[in-house]
Structure 1
Amino acid sequence: MLKYGVTHRLSTAYHPQTSGQVEVSNRGLKQILEKTVGKNRASWSDKLDDALWAFRTACKTPIGCTLYKLVYGKACHLPIELEHKAYWALKHPNFDLETAGDHRKVQLNELNELRDHAYENSLIYKEKTKRIHDSKIKNRVFNVGDKVLLFKSRLKMFSGKLKSRSSGPFTISQVFPYGTVELS
C-alpha cells in the first residue's frame, strides 16, 4: 500500500455509508432486481447473476464505458454471438509468439489508457455534478440580531407527520466565519 501511495480505510458491513461507490453500485443492482423479480420476491437470488451481468455490461455515464470494458479492455460479446460463431470468434490464432507478445503489450497499454480516460471522465462528471449542486445553494448572510428559525433535520426519526420541523424564533447573538452562528 505504501509503495503505490494508497491510503487504506476500513469499512464494516454495518456502516456501508463509508464507501459511496459501493452504495451507488448496490442501488443500481437493487433497481435492476426490482424490475426483473416482480411480485415473487423470493426468487431474487435466481436473478442475481443476470442482474450482475446487466449491471457490468451497461454503459456508465460517469466513466463513459462499461465496467466489463474497464476490466478486460474490450467490449463484451453476448452468449448469442458465441453461439452463432461471430467473425471475431472465427479468427485464426496467431502462433508467432513474438508477434503475439507485442500485440499483448499493446493491448495492456491500451487498457491503461482506457482506465486513465475513464478516471478523467469520472472527474469531469463529478465537477459538473458539484457545479449543478452548488448553483442551487442560496447564500444566506446572517447578521447579529436577526431572528431565525432552527430547522430540525432529524425529525424524521420520530413519528408525527404534522409536527413542525422548525423551532424558534431564535436571535443570532454572534456570527463566526464560514457561516457558523450562535443562537440565543
Structure 2
Amino acid sequence: MELEHKAYWALKLLNFDEAACGEKRILQLMELEEMRLNAYESSRIYKQKMKAYHDKKLQRKDFQLGQQVLLFNFRLRLFPGKLKSKWSGPFVIKEVRPHEAVELMDPAGGNLERRWIVNGQHLKIYNGGQLERLTSIVYLTDP
C-alpha cells in the first residue's frame, strides 16, 4: 500500500495526470496540423508569385505573313561547338496557325519549295542584314 501511495505521488509530482496528458497531446497535434496547413498556404502563395513573375517576363510574338524569321535549332547535338550558331534561317512565314503554330518556307530552296510547321516559341524575328550560310563537311572514318 505504501508503495502505491509513493507511486501516486511520484506521478503527481511529474505531472503524469492522464487527463492532462491527453489534452496536452491533442493540443500538440492540433498545433502540428496548423503548422502543416500554414506551410501549404505559404507554398501556394510562393508558387502564385513565381508564376506571375515568370508570366510577366514572357513576350508575345505576333508573326505576320511574309515576315522573315530565324529558327532555333535545338537538335544541334551531333557536333556541338562554341562558335556554331544555333539559329538558322532566315525563313519566310507562309501561314500563322492557332496556338503559336507557324508554317515556314525556305526562300533559298530554289525550285523545291520546302515547307514545314514549327512551334512559334522556336522563332525570333529577323531584322535584316547579311547572314552567312556556312557549311562544314566532317568526314568520319572507321577506327
What is the one-letter code of the residue matched to 2:74? S
Which whole-Å CA distance do the structure 2 matches of 1:109 and 1:158 have between them? 60
Structure-2 residue corresponding to 1:127? 48
Q: Which has the higher helix share?
A: 1
Determine which of 67, 70, 90 is the counterpart of 1:149. 70
Structure-2 residue corresponding to 1:6? none
1:162 is the counterpart of 2:110:
no
1:101 is the counterpart of 2:19:
no
Q: How many Å apart are 1:153 and its aligned residue?
A: 3.2
- Count matched residues: 93
Which whole-Å CA distance do the structure 2 matches of 1:116 and 1:149 have between them? 48
Structure-2 change in CA distance of 1:175 and 1:102 (3 Å): same
Q: How many Å apart are 1:157 and its aligned residue?
A: 6.6
Offset from partner CA, 1:140-170 (integer Å, 9 cap, x none): 1112221100012343674211001101111
Residue 177 of structure 1 aligns to a residue whose secondary structure is coil
Determine which of 121, 134, 137 is the counterpart of 2:58. 137
Q: How many Å apart are 1:171 and its aligned residue?
A: 1.3
Q: How many Å apart are 1:178 and its aligned residue?
A: 2.4
Structure-2 change in CA distance of 1:137 and 1:156 (3 Å): farther
Higher relative contact order (CA 8 A, sep 6+): 2
Q: Matched residues, percent identical?
A: 51
Structure-1 residue corresponding to 2:99? 178
Q: Which has the higher strand share?
A: 2
Give ranges in structure 1 of 5+ residues lacking alignment.
1-91
Which whole-Å CA distance do the structure 2 matches of 1:142 and 1:168 have between them? 15
Which whole-Å CA distance do the structure 2 matches of 1:177 and 1:126 have between them? 29
Residue 178 of structure 1 aligns to a residue whose secondary structure is coil
What is the one-letter code of the residue matched to 1:110? E
Which whole-Å CA distance do the structure 1 matches of 2:79 and 2:66 have between them? 32
Structure-1 residue corresponding to 2:136? none
1:117 is the counterpart of 2:38:
yes
Offset from partner CA, 1:58-101 (integer Å, 9 cap, x none): xxxxxxxxxxxxxxxxxxxxxxxxxxxxxxxxxx8530111111
What is the one-letter code of the residue matched to 1:172? I
Residue 155 of structure 1 aligns to a residue whose secondary structure is coil
What is the one-letter code of the residue matched to 1:102? E
Which whole-Å CA distance do the structure 2 matches of 1:132 and 1:93 have between them? 54
